[in-house]
Amino acid sequence: MTTHDEVDAVVVGVGAAGAVLVRKLTDAGWRVVGLDAGPHWDPQTDFLSDERAMSKLFWRDRRVTGGEDPIELAGNVTGKGVGGSTVHYSMYALRLHRSDFQTHTRDGVGSDWPLSYDDLEPYYDEVEHELGIAGPVDWPWDAPRRHRYPYRPHQLNGVGEVMARGCDALGITWRPGAIATLSAPKGDRPPCVYRGWCLSGCTTNAKSSTLVTYAKEAVRAGAEIRPDCMVHRVDTDATGRAIGVTYVRRSADGTVHEEQQRARVVIVSAYSIETPRLLLMSASSGHPDGLANSSGLVGKGLMIHGSDVVFGRFPEPVSQFKAPPPNTITQDFYETNSAHDFVRGYSIETVGPLPGKFAQLAASTLGLWGESLREFMYDYSHYAGLGLVGETQAQDSNGVRLSRDETDTFGLPIPVVTFSYAENDRRILEAGTDTQRRILEAAGAQTTFRVSDTAHLMGACRMGDDPATSVVDRNCRTWDVPGLYVCDGSVFVTSGASNPSLTIQAIAARTADQLIAAGRRDQL
Amino acid sequence: MFMKRSRRRLGRATAFSGGWSPPMRRLRTQLAVITTASTALLWLDNLSEHYRGGFERELMYVPILANPVVAAAGAVTAVTGGRRGGRLFGLLSAAQTAIAVVGFVEHQRGILKKPGGNQPRQLLFNAWYGPPVAAPLQYLGLGLMGVMATVPQSAAAPLLARIPVDRLMRAFTALNLPPLWAEIGYLHARGSFQNRAQWLPVVTLPLAGAMSALAATSDSRTARTAAQAASGWTALLGAAGTGFHLYGLHRRYGGYRRGSFLFNWLNGPPAPAPLQMIGLGLAGLAAERAVTRR
């Protein structure tokens, strides 16, 4: 087994959070190695305008999904390769609301975060600036922003106009969405040309995935990003301190061998399924239930967003495939409202599936196949879809555990993901889809149909102030294992009703600063 | 070259040249040249924008069709030093100002018609992606310049007796700059001033406008210098702006490559737009020069 010399930090998973950490730590003079299970893509040569082929961006390793409401595990939640799911995410770059950090105090549900919005605000600003987020001039929801979005909003596309029209008719506030694709040049990245293939990988680099932003800059700054490395164990020494990771590396010729990377600090940024899986797989005699799991909460409290889509058919073509599918948003229903029969709330955003995905949704929801599906698809351009981001509450029964009998190609136990909606989650789904339908009808939809869907992962290694009820502290340091950090969406305490990527990145940017400061004090 | 020839034929006074002093005749020819060139270049800009807008309304064809006729009459006037086509050019230029006013009104209506048009907070967003607010006013400016280049001496005399032509031109420049400034300002804001040079016209055009306006009230030597500086700077901005816009096209995906060029031309920084500032600046300089020679 090859053992690499000790570096200052090894980051497992170079995605939304990992790439931010690798770059920021490298900029601070650390020697950093980023390991990613997937390839290091070159968007200009590796990405095609082919929906099916581009599903290679998803994490498609074998997994089991279960519970009363099994979630979709491929495209909507995970990515494989440097950049992670930011390579194919829908680019909404939203902040959590202030209330999201205190749902227990305010609404009596969930738990309060150990961080407040004010702790994250400077990092939201920083990350938005680094990515070049294009957003509206004013953000009418939650408390006012300190700074404007660095780039101006994109124009409305067909679906955006439908949503704006419907919202205007119903008196609902809408804005062009805040999204991570450029509306004007930034450095060597060009503005978006509205190809509409964002969810299959952007070929122009206008999309601010961490692949073409943080990860690229990290490599330029001297970091090493090692692709095709599947980490399966966090190594600890006799004192219980994390000293590195062991992984299997797939070479260009297809051969696989095991390597070890030593590091002063190990940061796991593999998202809400693979992060708990790795901690659980790293169980040893000293940590029989998995690393950092004295609370028993590793893998528990997984949250998602109820993201049912309602499609409406319009007499005139809407061309839902044109321009970035994330386009227009309302957060009028985000906060707890005593008039509702639920607490917390939801956001409504436009979607724009490409024909393959749309056909798949229609086929599975409406039971169409063959001739009937083909008839239906002739009208593809006439449909506009609105998606929901419905908050869910963390439940310990939802989560990730290791399969007892099934293993993957590396012989590692596969993850079993269980999810069931709580009653409040379901009420949000019902109310949200009803609002989506009303907006479409107010805009002139002739018929509508609803598609069940889920998106995003949050939680499963939550942060907190008490080692008994959380896995990591407010700085993402695991309570149990010195030198081991968890920094990604799995540290979320509540899900909010905002797409999580920007918050993941803000937490990563903050964690990097905390690490740099701790390093100076020699308290890593 | 044609200047010399026109001087040789002074004897053959026409409605166009009749009664004008030689420097004024030269100025009028220069104005005709500048107006014609600016109109032709505006056509390119106008065509690109209306094509991008898919000629959604038939009215959008009007300036596209009218412009070449005006430009052709202007070209004849310019080339013949005003001996031919002057009157027609003048009439067409007057008509063009009417088209400009209709266009201006229609552009505002187009913006207000967009979703959220009843909410003041959405106005800027709708203007960013709607028909450009002040663009039709460029036709108004060029129309007036066409009239200035062709108006008979008898009609212009009462006005020119009270206000000399250089001061008149300074006022004209001062009036042209605010809409130009507003348009550049809000469109550069859409690009979020990603290149610091985008601030240049936004910061300096008001100064140029103010200098021209002040200079319009005085005959002093200082006023002349200020007006020359303002016009010279406006022309310089136009040249630099064109350069930056051409560079901006290069920065877009695909840049000047054949498959991408048309798309980038239509959606990128409008390359012919800053050229209008060169025309305005040169017209101002020409007016100052005409009076120096008197």
pLDDT digits (tens, 9 = 90+) for B156-178: 999 999 999 999 999 999 999 99
3-class secondary-structure state, position A279: helix
Q: pLDDT 10s digit of each residue in chain A, 524 long?
A: 899 999 999 999 999 999 999 999 999 999 999 999 999 999 999 999 999 999 999 998 899 999 999 998 877 788 999 999 999 999 999 999 999 999 999 999 999 999 999 999 999 999 999 999 999 999 999 988 999 999 999 999 999 999 999 999 999 999 999 999 999 999 999 999 998 999 999 999 999 999 999 999 999 999 999 999 999 999 999 999 999 999 999 988 889 999 999 999 999 999 999 999 999 999 998 899 999 999 999 999 999 999 999 999 999 999 999 888 889 999 999 999 999 999 999 999 999 999 999 999 999 999 999 999 999 999 999 999 999 999 999 999 999 999 999 999 899 999 999 999 999 999 999 999 999 999 999 999 999 999 999 999 999 999 999 999 999 999 999 999 999 999 999 999 999 999 999 999 999 999 999 999 999 998 88
> Which candidate in A157, A193, A204 is best for mutational testing of the B interface (most B CBs within 10 A)?
A193
Distance CA A513, CA A30 (A): 12
Contact between residue A471 and residue A293 where contact means Cβ atoms under 8 Å apart: yes
Could you count the other beta carbons within 10 Å of the beta carbon of residue B19?
A: 13
A150 touches B: beta carbon within 8 Å: yes
The residue assigned the tokens 């003041």 is B120
- The hierarchical CATH code for the domain A2-42+68-520 is 3.50.50.60
Is A451:A439 a contact under the CB 8 Å cutoff? no
Tokens of A400: 């990730």
The number of helix segments (H) and strand segments (E) in chain A equals 11, 18
- Using the Cβ of A442 and the Cβ atoms of chain B, whether some distance falls under 8 Å is answered with no
Give A324 to chain B, closest Cα distance, Å: 15
What are the DSSP calls for B90-125, one per residue? HHHHHHHHHHHHHHHHHHHHHHHHSTTTT-GGGHHH
Res. B2: pLDDT tops 80: no
Task: Please say whether the beta carbons of B92 and B69 come within 8 A.
Answer: yes
Chain A partners within 8 Å of B124 (Cβ): 137
Dihedral sign, Cα of residue A437, residue A441, residue A444, residue A448: positive
The share of chain B scoring above pLDDT 90, in percent, equals 85
CB < 8 Å from A in window 164-193 of B: 189-192
Gap between the Cα atoms of A171 and A502, Å rounded = 28
| A193 Cβ under 8 Å from any chain B Cβ | yes
Which pLDDT belongs to residue A286?
86
Average the pLDDT over each of A349-363, B10-24, B210-224, B258-272 and give the range with the smallest value: B10-24
pLDDT of residue A371: 95
**Residue contacts between A and B (CB atoms, under 8 Å):** 53
Q: Do B124 and A137 touch (CB under 8 A)?
A: yes
pLDDT of B53 = 92
Residue of chain B minimizing CA distance to A192: B253
pLDDT at A205: 96
Q: Where are the beta strands (DSSP E) in A393-509?
A: 399-407, 413-418, 447-451, 454-460, 484-486
Residues 6+ apart with CB under 8 A from A245: A10, A12, A35, A231, A233, A234, A235, A260, A261, A263, A266
* CA A281/CA A289 separation, integer angstroms: 9
B12 Cβ contact list (under 8 Å, min separation 6): B83
Task: Classify residue A1 as exposed, middle or buried by CB count within 10 Å of its CB (0-12, 13-18, 19+).
Answer: exposed
**A129-138, A417-426, B7-16, B36-45: segment of lowest average pLDDT:** B7-16
d(CA A445, CA A71): 29
- Alpha helices by DSSP H, A415-495: 423-442
Q: Which one, of A517, A10, A498, lies nearest residue A259 by Cα?
A: A10
Q: Is A153 on the interface with B (CB under 8 A)?
A: yes
Please tell me which of the candidates B115, B195, B263 has its beta carbon nearest to residue A193.
B263
Domain chopping of chain A, boundaries:
2-42+68-520
Q: What's residue B292's pLDDT?
A: 62
Identify the CA nearest to B115 among candidates A135, A164, A350: A164
Amino acid at residue number B181? W
The strand pairing partners of A402, in sequence order, are: A415
Task: Name the token pair of A454.
Answer: 């889920």
Q: Indicate yes or no: CB of A190 within 8 angstroms of CB of B253.
A: yes
Let me know the angle formed at the C-alpha of A441 by A438 and A446, rounded to the nearest 5 degrees: 145
Q: Which residues of A touch B251 (CB under 8 A)?
A: 185, 190
CA distance B159 to chain A (A): 47
